[in-house]
Amino acid sequence: MSAGLFAGLSLDEPRIFGIINTTPDSFSDGGEALSPDDAINRGRKMLEEGADILDVGGESTRPGADPVSVDEEITRIEPVVRGLVELGAVVSIDTRRAPVMTAAIAAGAKIINDVTALTGDPDSLGVAAESGLPVVLMHMLGEPGTMQDNPQYDDAAPDVFKYLKDRVAACEAAGIDRDCIAVDPGIGFGKTLRHNLEILNRLDLYKDLGCPVLLGVSRKSFIAKISGEEDPKRRLAGSLAASVAAFSQGVRLFRVHDVAETRQALAVCQAIEGA
């Protein structure tokens, strides 16, 4: 994958985005960090465990999720972003809405992470370009509420690659430098188990894109479909297995719930690779 830097961090080693969902309905940790104090304390713990970036979201995008109002999303994330920045954290804002991006940037966020690859709001591409901040472009087929209703691809891995290639080009045309762009294939976002596995098996495709890949596999339902484990919090082993496989294909950015465990697993991978 792309070497160099992303958001000022060297990609010579794996980098971890710690997930902080200030939502009541996220699939794995909904309600656990709903108050600003709880969210900030969770972020503090993740920093201690080795998180490089804290990814704050105020709207669940799990399959079947209902949208929340822009005002509610801002109310959820703004004090959390400010509090985490005061701790010295590099904060990423996980949103698909331009006003939320703007509020988070004003509060100190340094990365924009958009599940719609800056297509979900007509103003989001302009906000991102004007901010000069790094962006993460994710692939999602459809909307969270319906994305798992029989998703179809001609060939999942190259189809997702082509979509992200086109979005990178659109961002460059809007004035966002390629060095400021990472891509996320969107595991579980409008994809069957077979689609997810095909994409995870072909992450080498992104070497041709020249952008770092952010992978989000943590605790996701494809692990349950393989292993039979229905409790998201008991899917750590599967999450680590997928992350290790991705690391071997050059992925260096990982969005996770379990920071310490992922850090350890990837440190061992890197040590073996470098021996």
| Count of CB atoms situated within 10 Å of the CB of 48 | 10
Tokens encoding 250? 């050059």
Can you give the length of the chain in residues?
A: 275
What's the alpha-carbon Rg for the chain, to the nearest Å? 17
Considering Cα of 101, then 105, then 108, then 110, what sign does the dihedral take? positive
Helix (H, G, I), strand (E, B) or coil at 64: coil
Q: Is 255 a catalytic residue?
A: yes
- 225 is a catalytic site residue: no
Provide the phi-psi class of 219: left if phi over 0, else alpha when psi is between -120 and 50, else beta.
Answer: left
- Amino acid letter for position 71: D
Q: Which of 97, 220, 235, 252 is catalytic?
A: 220
Return the C-alpha torsion angle 252, 253, 259, 260, nearest 10: 10
Q: Which tokens sit at 7?
A: 């958001």
DSSP labels, 151-220: ---SSHHHHHHHHHHHHHHHHHHTT--GGGEEEE--TTSS--HHHHHHHHHTGGGGGGTTS-BEE--TT-
Kindly name the residue from 62, 219, 255, 263 that is annotated as catalytic: 255
- Look-up: residue for tokens 């020249």? 210
Question: Which phi and psi (to 5°) does residue 212 adopt?
Answer: -65, 155
User: Known catalytic residues?
Assistant: 220, 255
